[in-house]
Amino acid sequence: MLAAVLHDFDRLVLEDVPVPRPGYGEVVVRIKSTGFCATDYKAIKGIRRNVKFPFIAGHEPAGVVSAIGAGVRHFKEGDEVICQPSGYCGVCPACRAGNSHYCETAFTTGGDGPADVRPGAFAEYMVTAETCLFRKPASLSFDAAALTEPLSGAWKGVIQYSEMKVADDVVVIGVGGIGLLCLMVAKAAGAGRLLAIDPSPYARKNALALGATHALDPNAGDPLAGVAAILPRGPDLVLEAAGHISAVRLMTELRRRGTRWNIFGITTPEKFELEGGLTHFLEGRMDASFGTTPQAMQRAIALMESGLVRTESIISHRFPLKDIHKAMEAMDGPERNKVMIHP
């Protein structure tokens, strides 16, 4: 099969590799569509260094079951499925507590986090555990379904962890692909005023089209004053989805008493400071959201199936796998949202 194999940082090679075979409790999925996540891009470029070579990235896939291993009970060849990248045992204390993304023996297919990283979806076929599969609703395209994992992360961060409430005033810093998903989840959940902050005119235009009530350029004047002009009492919730330390610092400056804030986008080891007494006085709450869980995946599917969130609306580029290097160029471009790969 054709696969995009990373042999070293910035050395991504298209090559033929063996089609994987399923082990006990495993399935092979013929990948129809997969999202190109910023963490994939960071791994390929060497921006994040926790990568072991050779590596096949891609952790946002949907496809069709092409083979099943012994012990598989709930899926059969031909089933259209969505793949959760994170695998889990189901019996360790973390799993039993509902935190399967903390599983002591977790693995990921093409992703980040656990020590056990397996080949991902930048390939024609991928093997994973039966427990990582969800049935794709017939009403969803493969492109829409492939974005279940990032949407699930947005739901988990905005709703489950930061507990956004109806009429909350919400600020989203960084409205690329994941920021737009956070924005759409907040909109669907009944946000009051919904502010998008991004230096890109392209990103701000998309945010307004997808539900933001206001969009601010942080480089055009003082962003704190800009937010205060719209939200004199300050935001109820601030979401950092930019992936840059400057966005995290801006988030901390936007706090008022009781503000909830979620470090969502930054994945690299950078530092910021908090003034202890002020943080104590403000009595806010910091959350972060990494990875996904079966509950979050199921909620994301429900959001899409009901039409409350239309994930295809954030797709800007589509490429066949053979054009993965053109996809990398698009990831570098100033006007792109979600890039999709079609193996």
For position 248, which CATH number holds? 3.40.50.720
267 pLDDT higher than 90: no
Q: Sheet harboring 107-109: ordered strands across? A: 86-87, 107-109, 116-118
Q: How far is CA 189 from CA 109, 211, 227, 253, 266, in A?
A: 31, 12, 21, 25, 24
The pLDDT of residue 310 is 97
- Supply 256's token pair: 């008022």
- Supply 341's token pair: 């790969």
pLDDT in tens, 9-54: 999 999 999 999 999 999 999 999 999 999 999 999 999 888 999 9
Q: What is the pTM of this model?
A: 0.95
pLDDT in tens, 103-158: 999 999 999 889 999 999 999 999 999 999 999 999 999 999 999 999 999 999 99
Same-domain check for residues 137 and 222: no
CB within 8 A of 229, min separation 6: which ones? none
CATH number for the domain spanning 59: value is 3.90.180.10
The pLDDT of residue 51 is 93
Q: Total domain count for the chain?
A: 2
The length of the chain is 343
SS3 283: coil
What's the CA dihedral at 42, 47, 50, 54 to 10 degrees?
A: 60
Same-domain check for residues 137 and 183: no
The pLDDT of residue 334 is 87
The pLDDT of residue 268 is 80
Same-domain check for residues 184 and 213: yes
In a domain, 230, yes or no: yes
C-beta atoms surrounding 111 within 10 Å: 25
255 lies in which domain range? 151-288
293 pLDDT higher than 90: yes
Same-domain check for residues 160 and 34: no
Peptide bond into 54 cis (omega under 30): yes
Same-domain check for residues 138 and 165: no
174 pLDDT higher than 90: yes
269 pLDDT higher than 90: no
The pLDDT of residue 145 is 98
The pLDDT of residue 266 is 85
